[in-house]
Amino acid sequence: MTNMTLSIPEPLFEKMKAMREMRWSEIARQAFENKIKETDFEESLLKKSKITAQDIEEISGKIKREVAKDLG
């Protein structure tokens, strides 16, 4: 198995140290696996989609304009 080094903000690390019973390596490994599964699923959906990047940009622009109207 390969080892990995992570940078963690000090306040988070202090909280993690207080929870000695937690297996942080296992929690991180599961989080990585879940993110990969989620990304693979999203990519499989996109492969089947007929929507283009241009369509997405147009829809995004419309949403942003409507939100700006509602907030303005």
In a domain, 63, yes or no: yes
Q: In this predicted model, what pLDDT tens digit does every residue of 53-65 receive, in sequence order?
A: 899 899 999 999 9
pTM for this entry: 0.61
Instruction: Using pLDDT thresholds of 50, 70 and 90, give the confidence band for residue 8.
Output: very high
pLDDT above 80 (res 72): no
Region at 49 (left for phi over 0; alpha for psi -120 to 50; beta for the rest): beta
pLDDT above 90 (res 47): no
H-helix segments, the chain: 10-18, 24-48, 53-71
CA distances from 5 to 11, 13, 15, 25, 51 (A): 18, 14, 18, 11, 39
Instruction: Using pLDDT thresholds of 50, 70 and 90, give the confidence band for residue 46.
Output: confident
In a domain, 49, yes or no: yes
Quick one: what percent of the chain has pLDDT higher than 70? 100
Tell me the residue range of the domain where 58 lies. 25-71
In a domain, 20, yes or no: no
